[in-house]
Amino acid sequence: MSDSAFEIILDECLDAVLSDARTIDDCLALYPEHAAELKSALQIGLLAKRLKQPEMEAGSLDALEMRLRGQMLAARQPAGRARLAPLSRLAAMVALVFLFTLGAGGGVVAASAHSLPGDPLYGVKRLWEAIVLALASWFDGTDDVWLSLAETRLDEAEDLATHGILYRDVLYDLYDATEHAMTLADADTAPRVVVFLNQAQTRLQDLPTTAATDPVRAELFTLIMPGPDGRLRVNSLEETPEAQPETATSTPTVIPSWTPSPDQPSTTPVPPTRTPAPTSSPTQKPTSRVPATATRTPSPTVTPTFTVTPSLTPTHTWTPLPLPVLPTTQGGSPSNGSRVIGPSATPVQPTSDATVRYRATQAAVYATQTAQAAFETEEPQP
């Protein structure tokens, strides 16, 4: 007998046995020539039928329904956004100003500011973000907005995780905003992106995840951790002084002092061989966001390990931010034994590429922020 004939017999017997119309033995008696194969197939069918039927818990059912209702409300928002698309940007701006003049729009947007995914007003919040993003693109300021959005998404993820309802789309949104912030960062934004990534590493580590959200968190870690070359993939970080072109040949103007921290090998630092001209680096321009201070201690909990002696500043002591947990790099020694950081040259101990580059970036940020004060208050050293 062909397989298809047996399949018909099997199905007939399964219908009868599963509905308790016949027993397995009844079927075997009807088709003794197929008894052996019928028996095991029918037994497995019965066993599978008696597997425990899992049910989704009532709390999860309600939470999902609430989230879907919120998404349904939010889903109406893209339609409104689509209608806005053909309008000129100017018209959109005028409409926005008008809305705020009336006060209603501002009230709704303000009310939505602390909403979370699934909340009725969350769609308003996202719409408002899209408007801000569109407006920012006029002024070439989307990098700032994306960084702010990444911070917001991280806050939301933490809040949802606290309530046990973190789901993957939230982390994907965080990934998206973070990636945009990293990709679009300019020289001004890059240091703040680095600080955000540093915080995000710690906060994501503490984020309670499930089997579903954990892979997305792993992808996020891949994004925000330094790559195999030890570099954070933040745009414009290459413009920090450590990546200055290697054409400068001027005599070093400072001999930076180096105090090895306990976790670093006591390698004798190699004096820098070049010092970029103070005006040649875009990061030497003091930023307007951070007031220049003579001494800055980014974190009160860490021990100073560097003493930077810039050529234009007698002594600035700074403390590196706590290092993130960085992957162990092979080799452990940078390709260049000496590095130039900021307006002055500071050798970085070759602990690992990732560590060196991270601290070098911090040093660059520090040097940028204090450069203005140095110019105004100190006499340049010969």
Partner 1 sequence: MDRAEEGRLLRQAQRGDADAFAALYREHVQVIYRYIVHRVGDHHLAEDLTADVFTKALQGLDRYREQGKPLVAWLYRIARARVIDHYRRTSRRPVESDVEAEPLPFDADLDTPMVRREAARVLRAAIAELTEDQQQVVILRFVEGYRVEAIASLMGKQPNAIKALQHRALRTLANRLARAGFDIESVLAGIS
Q: Is 14 in the site for partner 1 (CB under 8 A)?
A: yes
Closest contact distance (angstroms) between CB of 136 and partner 1 is: 27
Nearer to partner 1, 3 or 206 (CB): 3
CA atoms within 13 A on the CB side of 32: 1
CA pair distance 350, 322, nearest whole angstrom? 17
CB nearer partner 1, residue 8 or residue 110: 8
Instruction: Render the burial of 106-125: b for 16+ CB within 10 Å, e for the rest.
Output: eeebeebeebbbbbebbbbb
Q: Looking at 6, 172, 221, 375, which residue binds partner 1 (CB under 8 A)? A: 6
Least distance from partner 1 to the Cβ atom of residue 34, Å:
11
Type of residue found at 305: T
The tokens for 89 are: 């940007």
DSSP 227: -
- Nearest to partner 1 of 64, 95 (CB atom): 64
Binding mask 153-172 for partner 1 (x = CB under 8 A): --------------xxx---
In the complex, least distance from residue 101 CB atom to partner 1, rounded to whole angstroms: 30
Give the binding range for partner 1 (CB under 8 A) out of 68-76, 136-144, 184-192, 373-381: 68-76
Binding status of residue 48 toward partner 1 by CB under 8 A: yes
Q: Binding residue for partner 1 (CB under 8 A) from 30, 35, 64, 302?
A: 64
Closest to partner 1 by CB, 41 or 204: 41
- The answer to whether residue 69 forms part of the interface with partner 1 (CB under 8 A) is yes
What's the min distance (Å) between Cβ of 78 and partner 1? Answer: 10
- Of 215 and 331, the one with the shorter C-beta distance to partner 1 is 215
CA distance 93 to 231: 40
Based on the shown chain and the rule CB under 8 A, indicate whether residue 86 belongs to the binding site for partner 1: no
d(C-alpha 127, C-alpha 125), whole Å: 5
Contacts with partner 1 in 189-218 (CB under 8 A)? 210-213, 215
Looking at 61, 87, 110, 113, which residue binds partner 1 (CB under 8 A)? 61
Q: Which stretch binds partner 1 (CB under 8 A): 13-21, 254-262, 277-285, 349-357?
A: 13-21
Of 367, 104, 79, the closest CA to residue 242 belongs to 367
Amino acid letter for position 147: L
Distance from chain centroid for Cα 343: 30
Please state the closest distance from residue 179 (CB atom) to partner 1, in A: 17
90 binds partner 1 (CB under 8 A): no
Which residue among 32, 52, 279, 335 contacts partner 1 (CB under 8 A)? 52
Binding-residue total with partner 1 (CB under 8 A): 47
Give, as ranges, the residues between 22 and 41 that touch partner 1 (CB under 8 A): 37, 40-41
Q: How many residues does the chain have?
A: 382
Closer residue to partner 1 in complex, CB, 30/326: 30
Evaluate whether 248 touches 276 at the Cβ level (below 8 Å). Answer: yes
For partner 1, the closer CB: 66 or 248: 66
Residue appearing with tokens 């991280």 = 154
Chain-centroid distance, C-alpha 242:
24
Q: If binding is defined by CB under 8 A, does position 83 make contact with partner 1?
A: no
Task: Spell out the long-range contacts of 233-237 with Cβ–Cβ below 8 A and sequence spacing 24 or more.
Answer: 233/182, 234/182, 234/185, 234/190, 234/193, 234/194, 234/197, 235/182, 235/183, 235/184, 235/185, 235/186, 235/190, 236/185, 236/186, 236/187, 236/189, 236/190, 237/185, 237/190, 237/194, 237/361
Residue 53 vs residues 49, 50, 356: alpha-carbon distances, Å:
9, 8, 55
Binding-site ranges for partner 1 (CB under 8 A): 3-4, 6-8, 10-11, 14-15, 18, 37, 40-41, 43-56, 60-61, 64-65, 67-69, 71-73, 75-76, 167-169, 210-213, 215
